[in-house]
Structure 1
Amino acid sequence: MKTLNNTSPVRRFGTLIAAGVLTASLVACSDSNGGNSENVSELTVGSSPSLAALSLQGAIANGHFEDNELSVNAVPNKSANDAVPQLLNGGIQVAQMDMLTFFKARSEGLPLKIVAGAGEQSTDGGNEVPSGAGVVVNPDSDISVPVDFVGRKVGVPAIKTQTWMNIRAIVDDAGGDSSQIEFVEVPPAQTIDLVNRGEVEASTPSEPLMSASIAEGKVRLIHSTDVPGLKGVPSSAFVATEDFVNNNPDTVRKFADAIYAAAAEVNGDREAALDIAEKQINLRPEQLEHVFVPALAADHPTSEELQKVIDLAIRYEVLTEAPDTADMVAQADGGN
C-alpha cells in the first residue's frame, strides 16, 4: 500500500497528546464549554460542508433549533480530525465526526461523547448500487467487480480511514485479498481526473461528484463504499466533550431532538433534501440532478451498531484495541 503523506487521522492523535495539548485542552473545556453556566443556548457546531450535514442544516433551515430554544452557528470542519482540538479547547461545542476518528479519540483517552447520530450506512452494498460514495473506474476498464481491485492501484482519501477499511472488507468478503491492493492517497477533488488520466485504476469520489461524473460518462461505478450487511450502522455522529455533556444536559437533549426532527423530514423526501442542499450547503442544481441522498440517523446509535464498526476497525488494525461502547453516547439526563 502506498501512502503519499503521513497525516492520516490514526497517526495524529498521538501528536496532540505528545505536544501536551490534552492537558491544556481539558482546562479550557471547563472554562469555555459551559462549565460555569449550565445549559447554554448558543452553540457553534463544526460540520461537514457536504450532504452528510443535511440533518444539521435542515434543523437550522426549518427552525427546529429555534423550537428548542437553541441558536446554532454551523462552521465547516477542515476534517473531523481537526475538529478534535477545537472541541477540547472550547472553540466549538459540538462537531460532526466520522466514527473511526471518534473511536480513535476515545481509545487515546480523549473525553468525547456522542450527543446525536448524524449519518448512517445507506445501503447493504452491492455491485453497481449507488450510495454516498463509491469506487469508480474508467468506462473501458477491465475491472468489473470488487475482487478485480486486487493488484491494482486504488485511490482513497487516506490510508486507514473508513473508506479504506470498507473497501478492504468488501474485497475480502467477496473472496479477494485486499492486502494486495495498492492504495494511494489522492485529493478528493482529483478522484475523477486521476482515474481518467490513468494515474490510478480506480478511485473513491463522494457525492455529488460521483453521480455527476457517472451521468456524464466519465467513469463507471463498480461498488459503493458500503459494506454488505452493515446497512444502518453509524457512519458519523455529532460529538461533544464529556464536560460539556455533563454541564449542559438540557442543551444536549434539545440539540438531539432538533437533529432527529430534521432527519425525519429529510429521510425519504428527496425534494426536501435537495432544497436544503441547494439553499444551505450551496450546491448547484446541476450538481444535484443525479445526486444520491444519504440516509440520516433518526436516533442515537446503539451499542450493537457501534460495536460492528469497531469490530471492522480491529480487523483491519485501524484500532489496536476496542473502546468500551457502554458510555459512548450521552443520555438525556447528561449522566455517564
Structure 2
Amino acid sequence: MKNLSRNRSLLAQVGALASVGVLALGLVSCSSAEGNEGGGNAENKSELKIGSSPSLASLSLQGAIANGHFGEDGLTVEVVPNKSANDAVPQLLNGGIDIAQMDMITFLKARNEGLPIQIVAGAGEQSTDGVEGEISGAGVVANPDSDIEGALDLVGRTVGVPAIKTQTWMNIRAIVDEAGGDSSQIDFVEVPSAQTIDLVNRGQVDASTPSEPLQSSSIAQNKVKLVHSTDVPGLKGAPSSVFVASEDFVTKNPETVENFADSVYTAAAEIRDNPDLAKEIGEKQLNLKPEQLETMFVPALATDHPTAEELNMVIELAVRYEILEAAPELEGAFAAPGEEN
C-alpha cells in the first residue's frame, strides 16, 4: 500500500436536492437498520462499484483502471455511469454504489442537508486562472460569426448551461461580474450536454457550455468559437469535483478508502507528468474518436486531498450566488482525520 501525501427551460429542471435529501435520509435509515441487524458489511471490501461520468473529468479514475493501480492496491473496480450527481447521493447511502465522483456544488448541498457523505479523494481541479481566450476543461462558445467576443457580451443574451444553480452556472456569473458586467441580466436556460453545439448553430441559444472533448473538437472544426472558459479568474486549483462515500462506508472500510485514494492520485500524477497518457486512456477507456483525441484539453486532476481553504473558494461563490444559504460545516467532511485543517 503506497502512502498518501496528505491523506437550470429546454429541459425540465433537475429535482431539488432537498427532495433527494428526504429520499436519501429514508434510504440511509433503512440501510443502517438492515446493516445493524445483519452485523454490518465486511471490513475493507476489495470489490468496489464506483459512480462516475464517462468523460475526461474521470481521467484519474479511468487511469487507475487502465494502468493497474487499483489491482496493485488490492482493489477490483466496476465503474457505473451516474445519471446525475444528485442521483448518486441516495445510491451511496443505500449501498447501490460505494464511491461516487460528483461536482463540488452537489457535495456541498448534500452536506448542508445534513447527509452523511464524506470526501475520500480529490478528482478534478480548476485548470486555469480564467484568462480571456484560454481554453480549459469546459467553456462558453458561440457561433463563429456571432458578435459575442468576450464575457461581457453575454449580458442580455441566452446562455445554455447543464442546469441552473450548478457550478458552471455559478462560474459564468462570477466571470461576467468580475469583468464588470451584470450577470443577473443573462438569460440562462438548461440544455442537454450533447446538444450544446447544435442549439448554438441553430440559433436557439446565443451561447452554450460544452465540456471536453466536444468543446475543443467543435472549435477545431469551426462549428463554434471560444468566448471564455468556465474557469473563474484567480481560482486555479480550486476543487471542481471529488470522490465521495457515505460515512458508514468510510468507517467500515478505512484501508479501502485509503487505497482507492492512493490509486487515483497515482494515476493523476502520471497524467500530469505525461499528458499523452490522457489520450491513451481517452481512447481505450472512454472510446474517444481520433479527432477528439487530437484536440482534447487535458484537465487538471487532483493529486492530493483538497484542503478546507480550497473548498472555501467554491463555498464563497456558492453563498454569494445563493446556491447555498450558508457555508456548510466542514468538520467531518473529509474521510481522513485532520484533513479539514
TM-score (norm 2): 0.93
Pairing 1:16–2:36 present: no
Pairing 1:162–2:180 present: no
1:29–1:276 distance in 2 versus 1, CA, 3 Å: farther
d(CA) in 2 for partners of 1:231 and 1:280? 27
Residue segments in structure 1 that go unaligned for 5+ positions in a row:
none
Match for residue 9 of structure 2 among 3, 25, 33: 3
Pairing 1:81–2:53 present: no
1:30–1:41 distance in 2 versus 1, CA, 3 Å: farther
Query: 1:305-329 CA deviation, whole Å, 9 max, x = no partner?
Result: 0011011000000111110123211
The residue number in structure 1 matching 2:4 is none
1:120–1:127 distance in 2 versus 1, CA, 3 Å: same
SS in 1 for 2:17: helix
d(CA) in 1 for partners of 2:339 and 2:76? 20
SS in 2 for 1:295: coil
Match for residue 72 of structure 2 among 67, 89, 101: 67
SS in 2 for 1:262: helix
d(CA) in 2 for partners of 1:118 and 1:51? 11
The residue number in structure 2 matching 1:219 is 224
Query: 1:60-108 CA deviation, whole Å, 9 max, x = no partner?
Result: 1111111111111111111111111111110100000000000001100
Q: In the alignment, is the contact (CA less than 8 A) between 1:147 and 1:175 conserved in 2?
A: yes
d(CA) in 2 for partners of 1:266 and 1:31? 41
SS in 2 for 1:282: coil
Pairing 1:294–2:299 present: yes
d(CA) in 2 for partners of 1:119 and 1:321? 24
The residue number in structure 2 matching 1:280 is 285
d(CA) in 1 for partners of 2:175 and 2:339? 38
The residue number in structure 1 matching 2:3 is none
1:86–1:140 distance in 2 versus 1, CA, 3 Å: same
Identity of aligned pairs, percent? 66
Number of residue pairs matched?
A: 332
Q: In the alignment, is the contact (CA less than 8 A) between 2:24 and 2:89 conserved in 1?
A: no
Q: In the alignment, is the contact (CA less than 8 A) between 2:104 and 2:241 conserved in 1?
A: yes
d(CA) in 1 for partners of 2:25 and 2:35? 15
d(CA) in 2 for partners of 1:37 and 1:87? 16
Q: In the alignment, is the contact (CA less than 8 A) between 2:20 and 2:86 conserved in 1?
A: no
When the two chains are superposed, the root-mean-square deviation of aligned CA atoms in Å is 2.1
1:224-239 equivalences in 2 (<5 Å): 224-239=229-244
The residue number in structure 2 matching 1:142 is 147
1:164–1:334 distance in 2 versus 1, CA, 3 Å: closer
d(CA) in 2 for partners of 1:307 and 1:31? 36
d(CA) in 2 for partners of 1:23 and 1:183? 33
d(CA) in 2 for partners of 1:154 and 1:254? 41
d(CA) in 2 for partners of 1:4 and 1:194? 10
d(CA) in 1 for partners of 2:338 and 2:166? 33
Q: In the alignment, is the contact (CA less than 8 A) between 1:135 and 1:204 conserved in 2?
A: yes
Residue segments in structure 2 that go unaligned for 5+ positions in a row:
1-7
Q: In the alignment, is the contact (CA less than 8 A) between 2:216 and 2:295 conserved in 1?
A: yes
The residue number in structure 2 matching 1:26 is 29
Match for residue 304 of structure 1 among 284, 292, 309: 309
The amino acid that maps onto 2:152 is V
The amino acid that maps onto 1:180 is Q
Quote how far apart the aligned CAs of 1:268 are: 3.6
More divergent stretch after superposition (262-271 vs 100-109): 262-271
Match for residue 173 of structure 1 among 155, 175, 178: 178
d(CA) in 2 for partners of 1:268 and 1:185? 36
Q: In the alignment, is the contact (CA less than 8 A) between 1:35 and 1:243 conserved in 2?
A: no
Quote how far apart the aligned CAs of 1:5 are: 4.5
Match for residue 131 of structure 2 among 126, 131, 135: 126
d(CA) in 2 for partners of 1:31 and 1:250? 23
The amino acid that maps onto 2:16 is R
Q: In the alignment, is the contact (CA less than 8 A) between 1:119 and 1:235 conserved in 2?
A: yes
Quote how far apart the aligned CAs of 1:32 are: 6.5
d(CA) in 2 for partners of 1:28 and 1:250? 22
Pairing 1:203–2:203 present: no
TM-score (norm 1): 0.94
1:93-104 equivalences in 2 (<5 Å): 93-104=98-109
Quote how far apart the aligned CAs of 1:193 are: 1.0
Quote how far apart the aligned CAs of 1:31 are: 5.0
The amino acid that maps onto 1:3 is S
Quote how far apart the aligned CAs of 1:332 are: 6.4
SS in 2 for 1:267: helix
